[in-house]
Structure 1
Amino acid sequence: MPSRLPMREKLLEARDRRTALLATNFYNAETLRGILEAAAELRQPVILQLTRSSIDYLGLGLALAMGRAAIEQYGVEGWIHLDHATSLDLVERCLEAGFDSVMIDASEADFAQNVALTRKAVELARKTGANVEAELGFVAKLGQEADSGGMTDPDEAARFVHETGVDSLAVAIGTAHGFYKATPCLDLERLAAIQARTGVPLVLHGGSGVDETAIRAAVARGICKVNVATETKDAFVRGVKREIQATTDIDLRNIFPPAIRDVKDLIKQKLGMFMDGSGRV
């Protein structure tokens, strides 16, 4: 089993080396297996993410146990992260359960409310040593229209980090959750300014569908964690649909493996964006 730094330290290491970690959501045993098979084959670290909806679907204890067991089984350096929590109650439950990292998302509240809620999450996490991520600016969620006027302001970001003590910051620089209708144009100048003013590891949400050139440019300017969720779900569901249409077999143990391989192939491609010629992240 590879040695595992606390996630906060691993993100700081990524910042100093100008690289990033892939963070991808899992939804069931099959997507989890595809992700970990990819990470094990490439010998790369990975962050496993769970949202409230996935926790409600699987159950908190089972979801965490699945993630931990898979990390150990595949011998991967990995962490469990709570993605897009909007309540301190869920943050506290996940910290008590043993999550390595939590995200408190009050980005749709005003600045003062976002600061207050994030500061409380940081206080809770200090008891366990977990990493805390927050979001500042508007990264459109599924069903929302992107709004370029909601991008993260570098000066506000510096103030936010100072007032909250947050470990990592998700920023709005032109991405959105879900699939894109048009090629996203990342504001790399804004990103560089945010990094210069905050110094903390920055997070790119909405990584699904952003091309490798843009991802690499963002990483060079301070992005240390890249989130992928939509593409992971899509790869698995497309694979399952394809297999169901091609066979009358009702044994899910035969239907699921090709879809697992589709997830594995996707994650290998995503992990490859952060590897240098020696295979290091």
Structure 2
Amino acid sequence: MLHKHLQSLQSKHGALLATNFYNFETLKGIIQSAAAADSPLILQLTRSSIDYIGLKTAVQMARATLREYNVTGWIHLDHSDSYDLIQQCLDAGFDSVMIDASEKSFDENIAITRKVVLLAERYNAHVEAELGYVAKLGQSTAMTGFTDPQQAMQFVEATGVHALAIAIGSAHGFYTAAPKLDMNRLTAIRESTNASLVLHGSSGIPSDMLREAILRGICKINLATEIKNIFIKTLQDQLRNNPEIDLRKVFPPAIEAVSKLVGDKLQTVKTVQASA
């Protein structure tokens, strides 16, 4: 089960990379790098990616690719605010789901998350929630709402959630200023709860900062923006002033770019555990 794997990693100062995929090409690039590094990882889908690919197609494609490359992996629903979508994903065979009620009141977040935890128990599935303000795409990064360690303890105890995405200074999308994570807050949260701690918004965070976050208790690192960015930028370069119409020739460089990016991130994660 994913929960036990994350807990084991956390106790050893290790982490899993959780990568969003958007089509077959980004999925292939991710899995190729995981196979080359002999690293397990989490494959994540958002509602928009599910709507684009199709729920059953996305799950079957992910499972088939994991088998083909002999990679250990889990399929996770990222940032869902819908109980119905969560149930659909669990029925489709997802290993893990995230309920994001972080913009609700503390009590509402607890109630909604607890409901999802009870649902997921029927599927023996892993549940992640979020506490605090981690700016989403288009939201202000100037706002603050860092996770309070005492509230984190209360939240995990009240909901029974397995993993907690915390707000310590990261944001979704690219950063307009150098990111700065509140490492002391992270340590305090880790001391207050045994939940698996998750860092969202890792795109653009320097490797040394990610390593320190892992050493202080982060055991799941989400990567999304950098994946779609490098895929599209590489594809744009391939298509610029290029008469080629065979997608089987223009896609591979973009796939390789994704593979190199994810490979570098996996190496960052692996070196932490090796040196701990």
How far apart, CA to CA, are the structure 2 residues paired with 1:56 and 1:277?
A: 36
- Matched AA of 1:8: H
Matches within 5 A, 1:75-224: 75-147=70-142, 149-224=144-219
Q: Tell me, what secondary structure is at the counterpart of 1:53?
A: helix
- Matched AA of 1:149: T
Q: CA-to-partner distance for each residue in 1:188-231, whole Å, 9 max, x for gaps?
A: 00000001001111000001000011101110111000000000
How far apart, CA to CA, are the structure 2 residues paired with 1:195 and 1:277?
A: 17
- Matched AA of 1:168: A
- Match for residue 250 of structure 2? 255
How far apart, CA to CA, are the structure 1 residues paired with 2:200 and 2:144?
A: 17
How far apart, CA to CA, are the structure 2 residues paired with 1:237 and 1:85?
A: 25
- Structure 1's unaligned 5+ residue stretches are 1-5
- Matched AA of 1:263: V
How far apart, CA to CA, are the structure 2 residues paired with 1:53 and 1:45?
A: 25
Q: Tell me, what secondary structure is at the counterpart of 1:273?
A: helix
- Poorly superposed stretches of 4+, deviation over 2 Å: 276-281
1:22 Cα offset (Å):
0.2
1:16 Cα offset (Å):
1.1
What is the TM-score of this pair, normalised by structure 1? 0.96
How far apart, CA to CA, are the structure 1 residues paired with 2:123 and 2:103?
A: 27
Q: Tell me, what secondary structure is at the counterpart of 1:276?
A: helix
1:267 matched to 2:262: yes
Are the counterparts in 2 of residues 19 and 274 from structure 1 also a CA contact under 8 Å?
A: yes
- Match for residue 42 of structure 1? 37
Q: Percent identity?
A: 53
- Structure 2's unaligned 5+ residue stretches are none
The CA RMSD over aligned residues, in Å, is: 1.5
1:246 Cα offset (Å):
4.7
How far apart, CA to CA, are the structure 2 residues paired with 1:56 and 1:116?
A: 27
Q: Tell me, what secondary structure is at the counterpart of 2:168?
A: coil
Q: Aligned pairs, how many?
A: 276
How far apart, CA to CA, are the structure 1 residues paired with 2:189 and 2:272?
A: 29
